[in-house]
Structures are given as structure tokens and as C-alpha cells.
Structure 1
Amino acid sequence: MNRSRVRVEPSPVFAGALELIVDDRPQSVVDPSRPVRLHYDYAHRVGAVLAVARPPGEPMRVLHVGGGAMTLARHVAATRPGSRQVVIEADPEVVRAVDERMPLDAATARSVRVRVGDAAEVLPTLAGPYDVAIVDAYVGLEAPGFADSADWYRRVRGLVPGGIVIANVVDEGDLRRVRAVAAVLAEVFGDLLALGPSDLLAGERGGNVVLVGGGGARMAGRLDALRQAGPHPAFVFGPDEVRDRLGAGPLG
């Protein structure tokens, strides 16, 4: 019997949670009863950045490039009531599965507007402004072409004047992918922050690194809070360390 390429099943790891699976690869985890809960390490790191981006509980305008199960959109709605969010999801099967098997609660649904389509085409139709843009769009482990485009990130920057852009980068453990995306982001945003697991930095395994552009000295001043937030063991690099360790910094 053929199985659907997009399905929702009980998580075998996290009690009470549901797992979105795309092409037999776990993609997102949601606990419908506790939307504030984040399961994957990289999502915890994104959540830590969101927590210090604005005062606690203050509503934010958030653009999500890549929706999946809308784990982070649910988290924002739960931790910052009154937030306004736009989610761009390229895969209509994913949107349908989420609507049917792990629907948003009423409060979150009021917070979120979903746009189905290619982000490169949807982005120019958005007006903004947003406080935060989260770029987390993958097909399996493959990033879309715009993830390497400085021109595309300049469009994103135009939608977040004075705000921040958070990019989730999947790396095989050699830091090649992280360095490539960091170089693009540095060209557009200048100074960056980087957060990830220590064993990835040591080359012991692949994993996810969270890069943060924009926010300037304000975000650089949040490094201690981000280091305390974990998950541990972890590295949290400020702009100088990103330049020294990842070779990415402002041009000129």
C-alpha cells in the first residue's frame, strides 16, 4: 500500500505530540495542547532569539518563510498574544495535512495568515513591515535556490526595517553550508549572530545552525541571555566570532 508523501502521526519521541512527515522524513513536531513547547534543538534556539528580540509578551509582526506544521507560528501566538503573522508555505499538501490533522486553535488562527506558493514569488506581493522574518524552508535537507541569493535577502531586509532576520541552516558537519549562507547574510545585513550545537562546530556531526542578521548592537547585547537559554552544549557567536570562526562579515 502506498503511503501519502505528507502525513501526520503521533510522535514516537515526544509524548502527546504530533509529527509532520514529508517524504518519509520527520519535518515538524507540534504539541497541540502546549503550543509554546518547542521540540527540536534549532527551534529552541529560534525561540530564544524571539524571546530577546522584543520585551516579553509584546506582540510582534512575524514573517515565516516555510511553514511546515507552523510550530514557530503557534509558539509566537502563545507567547506574544496579539501578534500578526504571515506564513509562506510552498507545499499545498503540507497546508492541507496541517489543516486536517493538527489545526491551529482559534486564537492562533486569528494571528496567522497563510500564503501558499513559492516564496520567491510571494515575497514581492507583501507590504510589511515586519519585526522578524524567519527563513526555514526546506524540501528534505535541500534548501531552495533563494536561500543563497543576496538579492532575495535584500527584499527580505526591505520588509523588516529595523527588525531581524533569522535563518535556519542545515549543515552536514563541515560548516560549508553555514559559511556559504553566512557570507550571503553578511553581505546584506553586516554583522551576524550564530547559534548551534557544539559538536557540529567540532565537526563531529551534522545539524542546524541559526544565523541572525539585523538588529545591530541591540541583538549583540543579548548574547549572554542567548548563551544561558541553550540547548546545551552550544556555541553562541557574536559578530567578531562569526567573522573569525565562520569567515563572514561586512564587506569593505
Structure 2
Amino acid sequence: MDEPVPVTRPIDYGTAKLMPDVDRARAWLLTVDGAPQSYVDLDAPAHLEFEYVRRLAHVVDVHTADADAPLDVVHLGGGALTLPRYVSATRPGSRQHAVEADRRLLALVLAELPLPDGSGIETYAMDARDWIEQAPADSADIIVADVFGGMDASEGTDGPESADGPRSSRSARVPARFTSVEYARAAARVLRPGGVHAANLADGTPFAFVRSQLATFATVFTELALIAEPAVLRGRRFGNVVLLASDAPLDIAALTRRVSADPFPARVEHGSALTRFTGAAAPVTDRDAQGSPEPPDGSFGIG
């Protein structure tokens, strides 16, 4: 049997490379311009390498009392479709929509890392904000916003969204159009009552961006929570923060148990502690929204 070999292709926004994992027979790491983006094990889609992807998976796992019940999930930002594959494997019968702006990246992933038959995953090569604004109302149980792209700091313009893992500093910024009150309202319209919006963000002390996101989503949703490593929350380093928003109480106890048992444990902040953390931060609109801060070099690695 031939050994798998790396695959390198130009994509719309850089160069993608798929590298086989020497320790797992059909596992692959996707990088874009040398930065890790996604990790997929085709034989074991429930195996998750990146820390923050495991935290998003925990959100899926605790969403209903029946842990096997199928869900309708929207993924904004596709990458190698790691989380959609996880949901398909752990929640059979789920209906999922994965939106990726980089058409050639999506084509590469579907060709080299094909989805299993009957996965229930539909993919779309288009802008994620446009997709969510066109989606039917009350059609999703969970929206996962993992939308990152390069930005022109001098003009404040957004580049492409992409991927489901750590990024280089050149492409590791949440575009402004996914950070506003208008975006939050669009997402809330698509969610069913009790649905959850889970956003992967990146920030560091003094957390001006995350605080503004908490204030922004609080104008639309009644329940909020943050999941992050203690070192990130204490301002010791830049890192991923998962923001949860819903119109119904979140299962904080179940989430806390799961994230604290991870190889790299995380904390769940909510309630009065989160209100204090938000402080006097103000919500932002499309008119004044800005993307997340550019991370320092070497901020992200493989979890």
C-alpha cells in the first residue's frame, strides 16, 4: 500500500498544503501559507487535535439532554470541515451547512478529504455573512462562527474568511462584518428558540475586542458565556476565546465539567463575573465595527 504524500495547491487566498500524520493512517493536517488550519482523521472524525475545536464540540455535545439527537448546525468558515465531520459522527442524522469563502480551498478539501456518504453536510463556496442573511429563519440549533481572514490595517477592509484552526498573524483576525449588532441580529433570526451562537474569537489583555463582543451580543441575546484557558483569561497570553450566546439558559455545569477535563483545561465564565469582565464596553454596529486585533507572532500552535 502506497504511503500518503503531501498535497500542495494554490487556493484563492494563498497556498494550501495537506500533510499526512505519520502516527495515524488517514489523518491530515491542513496548512495555509505554512500556518496550521485544520486537522482531520478520516477514520476517526471524533478525534479532535485543536484545543478550541474540542471546546466547540463540547457546546454541541451538551446542547440537548439526548446526546445522540440530530441537530441542524451552521458552520461559518469551513477549512477542512473538522467540526461538521465530528457532528456527523456523533449526532447521526444531523443536517449541516458549511460555508467557506475560499472556493479552491473548499474544492481541494472535498477532493482530497471527501465527506462520507450520508454525512448530511452541505457545503457552500460563498461569503458567510451573505449566507446567514439569506438563510431561513428559525432553521438552526447551533451556529458556529469560526470566521477569520486577512485584513488591510490601513483601510480596515476584510479579507477572506477561512478555516477551523489556528492561523498565522496575517490571517488570524475576525473580520469586522462578523462582529456587529447587525450580524448578531442576523444570526439570532436564523437560530431556533433555545439555539446557541458559538463564536471563536482571539484576543489578549486588555481584551478590548472580546469585551466589545460581549456588549454587542448582549444587545441581542439574553444569555452569554466565555470559554478559554485560565492563562488567556488572566491576560498572560494571547489566545482563543469561545463566546456563547443564546436566548435561553446555557448548561454551564455540563460545559464546565467537559472543558475542565480536557488535556488543556479551560474555564467557563458567565453571570455576574462576565458582567464585571465586560465593564463599560459598548456594542458596535456595522458602521464602527473593527476586526479582532492582530495576534503576536507565534500565538497559535496545534492543540
TM-score, structure 2 normalization: 0.75
Encode CA deviations 1:29-70: one digit per residue, 9 max, x unaligned. Answer: 111110011111101111111111112110000011111111
2:197 counterpart of 1:187: no
**SS of the residue 1:131 aligns to:** strand
State the 1:222 CA deviation: 3.7
Structure 1 runs of 4+ with >6 Å offset: 248-251
2:130 counterpart of 1:130: no
**SS of the residue 2:114 aligns to:** coil
Match of 1:81 in 2: 92
CA distance in 2, matches of 1:219, 1:248: 26
Is residue 6–residue 93 contact of structure 1 (8 Å, CA) maintained in 2? Answer: no
CA distance in 1, matches of 2:262, 2:282: 27
CA distance in 1, matches of 2:36, 2:244: 25
Match of 1:116 in 2: 125
Match of 2:228 in 1: 196
Equivalent residue for 1:148, pick from 179, 183, 201: 179
Q: What does 1:20-59 correspond to in 2, within 5 Å?
A: 20-54=30-64, 55-59=66-70
CA distance in 1, matches of 2:203, 2:31: 20
CA distance in 2, matches of 1:75, 1:160: 20
Q: Can you give the 5+ residue segments of structure 2 that lack an aligned partner in the other structure?
A: 1-7, 150-170, 284-303
Equivalent residue for 2:71, pick from 28, 41, 60: 60
Letter of the 1:65 partner, please give it: L
- Structure number with higher helix proportion: 1
Match of 2:168 in 1: none
Note the aligned Cα RMSD (angstroms). Answer: 2.3
State the 1:229 CA deviation: 4.2
2:190 counterpart of 1:159: yes
Q: Closer, same or farther in 2 for the Cα pair 1:3/1:218, shift >3 Å?
A: closer
Between the aligned residues of both structures, percent identity stands at 31
**SS of the residue 2:85 aligns to:** helix
TM-score, structure 1 normalization: 0.89
State the 1:241 CA deviation: 1.8
Match of 2:237 in 1: 205
Is residue 223–residue 250 contact of structure 2 (8 Å, CA) maintained in 1? Answer: no
Q: Can you give the 5+ residue segments of structure 1 that lack an aligned partner in the other structure?
A: none
**SS of the residue 1:216 aligns to:** coil
